[in-house]
Amino acid sequence: MLSDHFYHATIRRTIAAFGSIFNDIKVVRKDGDGQVRQITRVPLAYGPKQKFLARVTGDSKLSNEAIVAIKLPRMSFEITSLEYDPQSKIGKMNKLRRGSITDGSQQIVYTNSPYKIGISLSILAKNQDDALQVVEQILPYFQPEYTITINEIPEIGVKGDIPIVLTGVNLTDDYEGDYLTRRAIIYTLDFSTRVRFYGPIQDKNVILTSSVDINNLETFGFIEEATAEAAANTDLTNQTLVDAYDDVSEGIDETDDNAIT
């Protein structure tokens, strides 16, 4: 039932685009006179926060302040959920296609299957001020969504806008313990976005000519034949083809053989 191998890297592209939003956040430290003492770019990596938290709390070398500045603050993000989105579903028989009349061929892919994907962004910091600097550089852009454009299927030039919605902010501050226990301030930002999964790309020929016989409904006698020719330089890129059956009449448009929306 399933076709040959295909892979559009849908989730990978979405996660990479998500991470690129937060890959240039900086933390500034000042001295008592308000002069900038240090500017640190906050590292960002994919993975669960527990992995990075274990490295912070388990490394004895982190007692050195210079090493701590390198390790913290930092951010990590990971996929937390994936579920079908029935509200975004459109007709199953709709197609996206790319091609031209000159080439005589086209590439077709059927409409997508929409899903919602949950992503968690964790901000780990040594002190509250570092964490708040990172949070404050993120929250103003999400009201509550931030829309980005990704190449969903580069092979046929399909691009899509996906809204990234901020659904919640949580704070964890492990302040209890002895003086040897590392303090961990963690802000967790929960996001939700959409991904559209497409099937395999199919190579099809372009229909250049279509003919329709017009008959008399009372006598069933032949009246005439209507022929439609495709335009010479028609570009089919990023068009949606909808299967349609129109009533044939004397006012038939002889330049159009398909319903394009």
Smallest Cα–Cα separation from 62: which of 74, 73, 70, 52? Answer: 70
Residues 6 or more apart whose CB falls under 8 angstroms from that of 74 comprise 42, 43, 44, 45, 52, 124
Q: How far apart are CA 181 and CA 62, in angstroms?
A: 11
The residue type of 141 is Y
Strand ranges inside 70-183, DSSP E: 74-84, 95-100, 105-110, 113-125, 145-153, 158-174
φ, ψ for residue 182, nearest 5 deg: -70, 135
Please give the average per-residue pLDDT across 8-12, as a whole number: 91
Indicate whether 81 pLDDT > 70. Answer: yes
How high is the mean pLDDT of the chain?
A: 77
Give the closest residue to 100 by CA, choosing from 206, 223, 209: 206
Rounded CA-CA distance 199/202 in Å is: 9
| CATH 3.30.2000.40-classified regions of the chain | 10-100+112-197
At residue 106 the predicted structure's pLDDT band, cuts being 50, 70 and 90, is: confident
pLDDT in tens, 117-157: 999 999 998 888 999 999 999 999 998 899 999 988 888 88
Q: What angle do CA 200, 206, 207 make, to 5 degrees?
A: 130
Q: Where are the alpha helices (DSSP H) in 88-154?
A: 128-136
Say which residue, 226 or 39, is predicted with more confidence. 39
Q: Is 157 left (phi over 0), alpha (psi -120 to 50) or beta?
A: left
200 token code pair: 């395999």
CATH 3.30.2000.40 fits 10-100+112-197, yes or no: yes
